[in-house]
Amino acid sequence: MQKENTYILAIESSCDDTSAAVFCNDKKLSNIIASQKVHEAYGGVVPELASRAHQQNIVPVVNQAIKEAGIEKYQLNAIAYTQGPGLLGSLLVGASFAKSLALALDIPLIEVNHMQAHILAHFIDDEAQKKPEFPFLGITISGGHTQIVQVDDYFTMKVIGETLDDAIGEAFDKCGKMLQLPYPAGPHIDRLAKEGNPQRFQFSEPKVDGLNFSFSGLKTAVLYFLRRETKANPNFIKENITDICASLQYTVVTILMNKINKAIKKTDINRVAIGGGVSANSGIRNALINAQEKGKLEAFIPKFEYCTDNAGMIAIVGYYKYIQQRHLDNSRENLQLASARSKF
Ligand code: KG4
Ligand code: ZN
């Protein structure tokens, strides 16, 4: 007998992207993302403005997702939404909308952990990406989080390392602000780094035990370095921007790769699956591919669309919870992902 299709609508609104996706089983039918430009002028996400923009975007984004999927609302089997972690006001917009629609359609509501979604995004059935076998190391790197997660099964995960202060994307964005680059600076640093000399300037690596990270020291080191250099030459940044970006990116990539290698040694797991906006970084991708070519690890790099915050990753978790009937008892999860330190 042919298995029936499961249609899931997913909503993600944890930070500054309003997103809705429709999945048929583990395949994407649509994945709409409305990024909020309003924060650019402030050099960072302004929570109050984010919630207001979600309020404006949520109805058109969900409508477009359903339309693009080519289905009718009554065909949906369940609605999944990001329950946390994230900005409270932003989360509330997605949660209230998802709850109301699930109630109106009389279908199950599935709550999804945002961090778990970044990891399970690898299981979206898409020819542009391969699915890791269990166990693997999930590396979630974005503007709000930096974690190394041991993933034993879809819903059995353990955080084995995380940042003690700033997230890796925050390090890119804050250093970029000092370099007068637009927000978010990560992609600009990546682009400029390609033209620069990564060995030109040295920034010391933080000394943090075990598998944890720290990026606030790097930010301060860059600040003092720029203060010193611009005092001697006010045009220093302009004249050396590519070398500064290349050196900074080289340092960040080295910090990350050292911890990944340490995690591989400690766990004896060499499948490494990255996720989160910073996994778009070409320095990180190249370092992983190089390590793979040397036989040190097997790298899993998701399609860019599934790296940054998007509802597709919420839909895939919703799908697995639905088929395993986990949505009937959300408290069954043994999730340690939303630790006190992760802001998202
Ligand atoms: O996952 P994401 O869209 O949102 C959250 O923060 O949860 O990640 C956004 C972060 C920003 O810090 C941005 O600067 C960074 O991802 N980013 C990059 C690149 N593309 C995005 N950082 C370095 N290189 C990139 N190519
Ligand atoms: Zn995220």
| pLDDT at residue 168 greater than cutoff 60 | yes
Is the CB of residue 281 below 6 angstroms from any atom belonging to ligand 1?
yes
Question: Same domain, yes or no, for 293 and 312?
Answer: no
- Do 222 and 239 lie in one domain? The reply is yes
Q: Is the pLDDT of residue 328 over 80?
A: no
Neighbours of ion ligand 2 (CB under 5 A): 142, 309
Report pLDDT digits (tens) over 38-50.
777 777 777 888 8
> Tell me: the pLDDT tens digits for 122-141?
999 999 999 999 999 999 99
Map 111-139 to HEC letters. EEEHHHHHHHHHHCCCCCCCCCCCCEEEE
Which bound ligand lies closest to the C-alpha atom of 43? 1
Q: Do 61 and 151 fall within a single domain? A: no
C-alpha to C-alpha distance for 247 and 331, rounded to whole angstroms: 45
| pLDDT score, position 329 | 60
Q: Residue 227 phi/psi, 5° resolution? A: -60, -45
Mean pLDDT of 282-287: 97
- Residue 343 is predicted with a pLDDT of 40
pLDDT at 341: 40
Residue at 255 is within a domain: yes
* 59-114 pLDDT per residue, tens: 999 999 999 999 999 999 999 999 988 889 899 999 999 999 999 999 999 999 99
pLDDT tens per residue across span 223-263: 999 999 999 999 999 999 999 999 999 999 999 999 999 99
pLDDT at 214 exceeding the cut of 60 = yes
Q: Report the distance separating Cα 104 and Cα 42, nearest Å.
A: 38
**Which contacts of 260-268 are long-range, i.e. CB under 8 A and separated by 24 or more positions?**
260/137, 260/139, 260/148, 260/297, 261/291, 261/296, 262/210, 262/211, 263/137, 263/148, 263/160, 263/161, 263/211, 264/137, 264/296, 264/297, 266/160, 266/211, 267/135, 267/137, 267/150, 267/160
Contacts of 197 (CB under 8 A, 6+ apart): 242, 243, 246, 247
Q: How many CB atoms lie under 10 A from the CB of residue 2?
A: 4
Q: How far is the CA of 210 from the centre of ligand 2 (A)?
A: 24
**Residue 274 CB-density burial (10 A; 0-12 exposed, 13-18 middle, 19+ buried):** buried
User: Distance between CA atoms of 244 and 264, rounded to whole angstroms?
Assistant: 30
Q: Are residues 114 and 100 in the same domain?
A: yes
Q: CA–CA separation, 29 vs 206, rounded Å?
A: 43
Whether residues 282 and 174 fall in one domain:
yes
- For residue 143 and ligand 1, the question of a CB distance below 6 A is answered with yes
Is any atom of ligand 1 closer than 6 Å to the C-beta of 187? yes
- Which residue, among 128, 225, 242, has the nearest Cα to 178 in the 3D structure? 225
Tokens standing for residue 86: 């994230």
Q: Is 303 within 8 Å of 275 (Cβ atoms)?
A: no
Which ligand 1 atom sits closest to the C-alpha of 142? 8
In a domain, 329, yes or no: yes
Token code pair at residue 72:
């009718």
My answer on whether 294 and 150 are in the same domain is yes
In this structure, the answer to whether residues 95 and 146 fall within a common structural domain is no
**pLDDT given at position 99:** 96
Could you give the number of structural domains in the chain? 2
**Residue 330 confidence (pLDDT):** 55
Q: How does pLDDT run across 223-234, given as a tens digit for each residue? A: 999 999 999 999
161 in the same domain as 279 = yes
Q: What is the CATH number of the domain that holds 205?
A: 3.30.420.40
pTM: 0.91
**Residue, of 31 and 340, whose pLDDT is higher:** 31
**284 CA from centroid of ligand 1 (Å):** 12
What pLDDT score does 1 carry?
Answer: 52
Range of the domain at 276: 136-301
Gap between the terminal Cα atoms of the chain: 42
Residue entry with tokens 């992760």: 342
Q: Is the pLDDT of residue 340 over 50?
A: no
Mark out the alpha helices in 130-185 (DSSP H runs): 168-178
For the segment 2-24, the average pLDDT, to the nearest whole number, is 90
Take residue 271 and report the two structure tokens written for it. Answer: 């499948």
Residue 217 has pLDDT above 60, yes or no: yes
| 68 Cα–ligand 2 center, Å | 24
Q: How far is the C-alpha of 104 from the C-alpha of 91, rounded, in Å? A: 20
- Mean pLDDT across the stretch 161-168? 96
% of the chain beyond a pLDDT of 90? 79
Q: Tell me: do 47 and 189 sit in the same domain.
A: no
> What is the per-residue pLDDT for 339?
46
Q: Are strands 78-84 and 7-12 parallel, antiparallel or unpaired?
A: parallel
278, 313 contact by CB (below 8 A): no
Ligand 1 atom closest to the Cα of residue 168 is 12
pLDDT of residue 342: 43
Assigned domain for 1 exists: no
Amino acid at 163: T
Of ligand 1's listed atoms, the one at least distance from the Cα of 185 is 14
Task: Name the residue type at position 236.
Answer: F
The reply to whether ligand 1 has any atom less than 6 angstroms from the CB of 173 is: yes
Going by CA atoms, what residue is nearest to atom 23 of ligand 1?
186
Both tokens of residue 341?
Answer: 């330190």
Domain assignment of residue 260, yes or no:
yes
CA 63–ligand 2 middle distance (angstroms): 23
Cβ atoms of 234 and 227 within 8 Å: the answer is no
Pairing of strands 78-84, 271-275: unpaired
* pLDDT (tens digit per residue) in 179-207: 999 989 999 999 999 999 999 999 988 88
